[in-house]
Structure formats: structure tokens, C-alpha cells
Amino acid sequence: MGENGAGKSTLIKVISGVYSPDRGKVIVADKEVKSFNVKQMESHGIFTVHQEINLVPFISAMENVFIGSEPVRGKFPKILDYSYMKQKAQSLVQTIGVELNLKAPAYTLSASEQQIIQICRGLVANARVMILDEPTSSLSAEEISSLFSMVKKLRKEGVGIIFVSHKLDEVLQISDRITVLKDGEKIGTIPRQNATEEKIVSMMVGKSGFKAVRFHVSKKVSETILQLKNITTNKLRGVNLELRKGEVLGIVGVVGAGKTELAEVLFGLDHPKSGEIYLEGEKIAIKSPTDAIKKGFALVPENRRIQGIFARLSLSNNITAAYLSQWCKGGVIFPSLENEVTRSFIQKLAIRTRGPSQLLQYLSGGNQQKAVLAKWLGGNFKILMADEATQGVDVKTKEDIYSLVREIASEGRAVMFFSSYVPEIVKVSDRIVAMREGTIAAEFYPDEENLEHKIMMAILTEKGGNVYDSKES
């Protein structure tokens, strides 16, 4: 276990052969591993089931099980041994005690069934150690129960399991020992019988906790600009929320808590099954991203590369993309106007670039993120939604982004700052709401004592925090 950025993913990549360690040793069955690559580690019996399910959608479940380990018969030509594949796949699903239609195309299967296929892949490769990275993030309660039954059967078969999760209750339910990482270091390992939620959170937070330098703390009640009433989607469960003008509202939660899904609803990328959205007191429906922009919403998405930038277009093209009509005359785009505004943002945000015409793909991640923010600063938005806005950027760029967020709020606009990293939420926010499993679990202010511990309890445990009802305090 560990907070976002604690080093869990890096450690997994070393163990699974994606990275080579700078120092130290990896020892498997009393033998030191000398060469690091995925195939080499799989040959040692180490197999990773990644959080992002990676299957070929239009071939059968059985064929997906054997990708990379296809059995063949005959010398020339070699052909796939479908008879063996069918027999072996059936044996594997029986071993782990599940039912699965092996003939069905992968895209027709549920998330838990797709994970079963990935686990079977590891068993085909004779895995002795199975790494499960956030395996329950997209599963229902019933599917989680089935997964845990499967994990217990694998353990009885002699397979070692490394279970990586943000969910304390699940870790306490399934683990024999629990190891906590923080800032790339191992804090400690405790046996399950000695572990409590409070002890694990204390290890994750650290003895003294995080002493953030806060930009601003305010309990002043200003005019409400946005109100959500019982917003429900496939992921969100009755979300009630208020956002005020001039406020930075921190929205914190682990992966899968519903933060991104909430931002997608407000930006017209998803539509609620039920519930109401009020903007400046008027009930609205957000039909599309274009509609959201017209209504005054701006989004810095979680996945910058896929959703936030045009990598093969220039810095200038990216910065002017959201409000393109401002740089047009008579329906014609004027590059001189685009370049003029781009140069102003290069200076304002200290974007390191050769100039407005440089392709965005050649800028660093931090400078790309500044370009995503600049894209909105040229327009008259009312609410900025920043989803994991400091992910993958350096310390200096993080500070620049925090300052920019505070500046936007000081202008009377509102900011929804989504993050899974508790210290930065505490640092930048006027008010904080914690999300867990698709709903608002608790509300906090940055001047509360033991705040980081309280937030961690709220996002990781059912009994943490307080119930948030969107009423004025």
C-alpha cells in the first residue's frame, strides 16, 4: 500500500522486468536475476495482471488466454493446437473455481471475466508469483467477492500473490502481510493479525504528517455558482455538491472513486441517469463538450496525451483550440493573432519552447500541461475543472500550477481541483470533499487538525470522515 507517488507502480515495473534497478538485487528461488525484461521475468514465474485490462477484443476468451504462449503442433507448417488450448483453458478455470464461456469474444465479457482471462494467462506461463495491480478498481461488489475466492484458491495452489490496492478494507481482508511504501521507500511490513486501518494510515502518512505551505484558507461563504443534486450515473451514486465563486474546491479520492466521472458529467462527456445540475441558480442540461464550453466550463483532463493536446500540431494551434473563433475574422483563422496570444502565454506561464510554431510533441510533459491550461485562460470560463493537473510534472511546474489555480480563484472564478494526492489537495484548496466509491463521503477545511489522516480515513475506509450533505456550515 501507499499514497499516489509512493513508488508502488515503479516497484511493480522492476519486479515484472519493465525497469532495471539502479542498485540492489532481485532474487527469485535463491537465484539473482541478472537480466531485466518482461519475458525474462515471466520465465522466472513472475506475471503481472495490470489495472488496465489488455485483451484482443474480437477473438475468443480461450485464444486470449494463450496470447504469447500459443501451443502448436506439426513441424511444417506449424498450426495452433486448438484441442490442447481448449482442454488446458477448461482445466485452468476449473482450478480457480470459476465459470467462463471460453468461446465468447473478449469484448462481450464482464470486467471480472476479462481479469480471469489475464490471470489464466499467468497460469499458462506457470506463474509462481502473480502481481495484481488495483484489480478491483472497476469491479462490482459481487465480482470482487468472486475475485477474492479465486485469489484464495491460487494461494492454496502455491501461487504467491502481490496485491496492490488503495482500498484498506480489501487489503485487510485478503492479505497475510501488509507492506507500506512512502516516497519510494519501504516504511514497514506488518502481519495481518497486527494490522488496523488506523495503523496502516499512520504508516502511509508518516509520523509527523505532511506540513503543507497553504496558499489560502477561507470559510467565508460566497455566492454559489454550481449545485449538483443527486447526480447518478453508472459510476456516481447520488452526488450532492456545491461550488462557490472565488473558491478552490479540492475533490480527493483514490483511483476509481468517481472523480474523473464527475468531471466528465460536467463537461458533457457523460450524461446522468438522474439528478439535477444548477448553474448560477438556473437548472441546466449539459449535452456535449461544446455545450459545456458555451456554458462556461473548462476541463484539464486526467489523460493529457489522449484528451488534452494535439501532439502533432503547434503550440500556437493548441493554445487557441478551445476558443478558436476569437482568432478568426470572417471565418478565416489568422496565424498572426494566434502567435500573438501564444507569445503572451509563453511569457506568462514560463513555457519552455523554441516558439509558437514548435510542435507540442517536442515539449516536456510539464510544458505540455501548461499549454493545456493556457488553452482555457484565453477564454471567459466560469468554472475550471483540473483533473490530476500535476500528474507527471516536475516540482517547479507543480508550484506554477498551484499559483495559477489560486490566481484564477482570486479573479472570482471557481476551480474544482481533482487529485488523488492528499498533500497537494490540502495545500491548494479552500474546502475539500472526499469521494469514495462514486459518492461524497466527507467534507473538510484545510485548517482542521490531523487533516491528512482524516482525509485518508475518509477515502480509504467506510467509517472515515463525516457524511457530506452539501449544506452550508
Q: Compute CA distances 27 → 35, 49, 353, 401, whole Å.
A: 12, 21, 44, 42
Q: How far apart are CA 343 and CA 308, in angstroms?
A: 20
Answer yes or no: is 1 within a domain: no
Q: Give the strands of the sheet with 282-284, arranged side by side.
A: 239-244, 224-232, 274-279, 282-284
Residues 6+ apart with CB under 8 A from 120: 65, 89, 92, 93, 96
Cell 482568432 -> residue: 327
Secondary element (H or E) of residue 126: none
> What is the pLDDT averaged over residues 178-200?
90
Do 125 and 235 have their domain in common?
A: no
Do 167 and 270 have their domain in common?
A: no
Secondary element (H or E) of residue 416: strand 414-419
- Domain hosting 427: range is 224-460
Answer yes or no: is 209 within a domain: no
> What is the pLDDT averaged over residues 199-211?
67
pLDDT beyond 50 at 472: no
- Give the per-residue pLDDT at 277: 97
pLDDT beyond 80 at 473: no
> What is the pLDDT averaged over residues 38-43?
88
Q: Compute CA distances 229 → 79, 232, 242, 279, whole Å.
A: 59, 9, 9, 12
Which stretch of 62-66, 173-177, 344-348, 423-427 has the lowest confidence by average pLDDT? 423-427
Average pLDDT, the chain: 87
> Model confidence at 211, in pLDDT bands (50, 70, 90)?
very low
> What is the pLDDT averaged over residues 137-148?
73
Percent share of the chain, pLDDT over 70: 92
Do 196 and 228 have their domain in common?
A: no
Residues 84, 146, 164: CA angle, nearest 5 degrees = 95
> What is the pLDDT averaged over residues 408-437?
92
Q: How far apart are CA 465 and CA 457, in angstroms?
A: 6
pLDDT beyond 80 at 69: yes
**355-402 confidence digits (pLDDT tens):** 999 999 888 778 898 999 999 998 899 999 999 888 767 667 788 889
- Give the per-residue pLDDT at 464: 58
> What is the pLDDT averaged over residues 128-142?
79
pLDDT beyond 90 at 63: yes
Answer yes or no: is 158 within a domain: yes
For 83: left if phi > 0, alpha if psi spans -120 to 50, otherwise beta; the answer is alpha
Answer yes or no: is 228 within a domain: yes
pLDDT beyond 60 at 204: yes
Residues 6+ apart with CB under 8 A from 269: 289
Q: How far apart are CA 59 and CA 77, in angstroms?
A: 22
Residue type, 230: N
Answer yes or no: is 218 within a domain: no
Q: How far apart are CA 105 and CA 91, in angstroms?
A: 19
Domain boundary among 175, 204, 233: 204
Do 24 and 148 have their domain in common?
A: yes
- In the chain, the number of structural domains is 2
Do 174 and 296 have their domain in common?
A: no
- Give the per-residue pLDDT at 125: 83
Cell of 76: 511444417
Answer yes or no: is 470 within a domain: no
Q: Compute CA distances 320 → 338, 342, 386, whole Å.
A: 6, 8, 18
| Strand residues in 268-382 grouped as ranges (E) | 274-279, 282-284, 297-300, 328-329, 332-333
Do 228 and 176 have their domain in common?
A: no
Answer yes or no: is 371 within a domain: yes
pLDDT beyond 90 at 237: yes
Do 398 and 272 have their domain in common?
A: yes
pLDDT higher at 78 or 219: 78
Do 196 and 239 have their domain in common?
A: no
Whether residue 366 contacts residue 309, with contact meaning beta carbons closer than 8 Å, is answered with: no
- Least Cα distance to 401 among 436, 379, 371 occurs for 371
Do 35 and 136 have their domain in common?
A: yes
Do 192 and 336 have their domain in common?
A: no
Q: What is the CATH number of the domain that holds 65?
A: 3.40.50.300
Largest CA distance in the chain: 79
Query: What residues does 284 pair with on adjacent strands?
Result: 277
Give one DSSP letter per residue of 256-293, joined into a string.
TSSHHHHHHHHTTSS--SEEEEEETTEEE---SHHHHH
**246-275 confidence digits (pLDDT tens):** 999 999 988 778 999 999 999 999 999 999
Model confidence pTM above 0.75: no
Answer yes or no: is 215 within a domain: no
- Give the per-residue pLDDT at 469: 46
> What is the pLDDT averaged over residues 440-451?
91
Domain boundary among 157, 176, 204: 204
- Give the per-residue pLDDT at 220: 56
> Model confidence at 87, in pLDDT bands (50, 70, 90)?
very high
Do 43 and 151 have their domain in common?
A: yes
Do 45 and 138 have their domain in common?
A: yes
